[in-house]
Amino acid sequence: MISVQNYTDPYFQQVLDLLNQSKSFDSFTEPLLKEKMYDDPTWNPEHTWMALHKSKVIGFMQGVTRNIRGSKLGYIKLMAVHPEFRRQGIASRLFELLEKQLSELQMEALRIYDVPLNYFMPGIDPRYTPAVCFAEKMGFKKTGDAINMQVDLMATDWDASEKIAELKKASIEIKRATLNDKEELFDFISEDWMLWQNELEMAYRFAQPAIFIARQNGRLKAFAAYEGNNQGTGWFGPMGTHRDLRGKGVGNVLLYLCLSDMKHQGHTSATIPWVAPIAFYSHYANAVIDRVFWRYEKKLKNE
């Protein structure tokens, strides 16, 4: 007999074990799963469903919501069914419950895994082929791809000191962000990059914030961060340079400072996730396209 119920905290370890048994291309640690669940800005155990067999968790589906530039979107953030219990309609049952809840919340559409602010992967890695089949059966349509790039941190020392000195001559100062810079940094991203605030909050959690900034004539004009998501996995980003300052090598220097920190912290490679400017990372960091993800959406008909 399989029963279905909402997630409660005592099941955390079982959910962690289930995810690790189910996802052949990924692994979860306790802090990582806590970040994905409890640190999500819309974490809600009522939108998080489990299937149990003889008191063991054999199915899991976490739902979250976002308001993305005025659009209300619902997401399957994580899902897994134990290999021995697949093709028995378990994920379908969990999805039916979640979809009903998210429809009642007037979500315009549902997506899978590509959750801005706090996400594990920016879509379905198609090597999880049953997940692709499941998404299509549930009525999702493929809308595009997302990629993660990978940087070999051992390939160079990421020394940016000469470039920093050159930029200084042009009145551009590069430094690690402190709490005193936080208000101005959040003000800076508020126009175009509001969706990155959560990741910068995460990067600010450390005694030495995992963020570097550039100021031109005293005004904050660029930043780069790491450890803003999937902490402990060598996750770079976000980064952004004001239009006025592009093309002067500022992004290059900020990127190198982050990669250098990551290397000193013991990482041998860095992930540059959900990349748009492929050529930038390829050129400066010899980053290569690594994982590819398929993005899916299902429009909801709201009354």
Ligand X SMILES: CC(C)(COP(=O)(O)OP(=O)(O)OC[C@H]1O[C@@H](n2cnc3c(N)ncnc32)[C@H](O)[C@@H]1OP(=O)(O)O)[C@@H](O)C(=O)NCCC(=O)NCCS
> Hey, what are 161's tokens?
């000191």
- Among 28, 75, 113, 236, interactor with ligand X by CB under 6 A: 113
**To the nearest whole angstrom, how small is the minimum distance from the Cβ of residue 12 to ligand X?**
18
Name the residue type at position 211. Answer: I
- Classify strands 219-226 and 211-216 as parallel, antiparallel or unpaired: antiparallel
**To the nearest whole angstrom, how small is the minimum distance from the Cβ of residue 276 to ligand X?**
21
**To the nearest whole angstrom, how small is the minimum distance from the Cβ of residue 273 to ligand X?**
15
Phi and psi angles of residue 180, each rounded to the nearest 5 degrees, phi first: -65, -25
The window from 64-72, 88-96, 145-153, 253-261 that contacts ligand X (CB under 6 A) reads 88-96
Q: Does 96 participate in binding ligand X (rule CB under 6 A)? A: no
**To the nearest whole angstrom, how small is the minimum distance from the Cβ of residue 297 to ligand X?**
15
**To the nearest whole angstrom, how small is the minimum distance from the Cβ of residue 15 to ligand X?**
12
**3-state SS, residue 303:** coil
> Hey, what are 14's tokens?
């079982």
- Among 58, 80, 174, 239, interactor with ligand X by CB under 6 A: 80
> Hey, what are 8's tokens?
């409660």
**To the nearest whole angstrom, how small is the minimum distance from the Cβ of residue 84 to ligand X?**
10
- Among 11, 16, 23, 189, interactor with ligand X by CB under 6 A: 23
Q: Which is nearer to ligand X, 96 or 157 (CB)?
A: 96
Contact of 167 with 160, CB cutoff 8 Å: no
Contact of 217 with 248, CB cutoff 8 Å: no
- Among 124, 177, 254, 255, interactor with ligand X by CB under 6 A: 124
Q: Which is nearer to ligand X, 23 or 221 (CB)?
A: 23
Q: Which is nearer to ligand X, 41 or 126 (CB)?
A: 126
- Chain positions 125 to 184 lying near ligand X, rule: CB under 6 A, are 125, 128, 130-131, 133-134, 137
Contact of 144 with 284, CB cutoff 8 Å: no
Give the separation between CA 237 and CA 247, rounded to whole angstroms.
Answer: 19
**To the nearest whole angstrom, how small is the minimum distance from the Cβ of residue 220 to ligand X?**
37
From the list 28, 4, 295, 274, the residue with the least C-alpha distance to 144 is 295
Q: Does 21 participate in binding ligand X (rule CB under 6 A)? A: no
Contact of 37 with 86, CB cutoff 8 Å: no
Residue 82's alpha-carbon distances to 40, 151, 207, 251, in angstroms, are 24, 33, 39, 43
Q: Does 89 participate in binding ligand X (rule CB under 6 A)? A: yes
Q: Interface residues with ligand X (CB under 6 A)?
A: 22-23, 79-81, 86-92, 113, 124-125, 128, 130-131, 133-134, 137
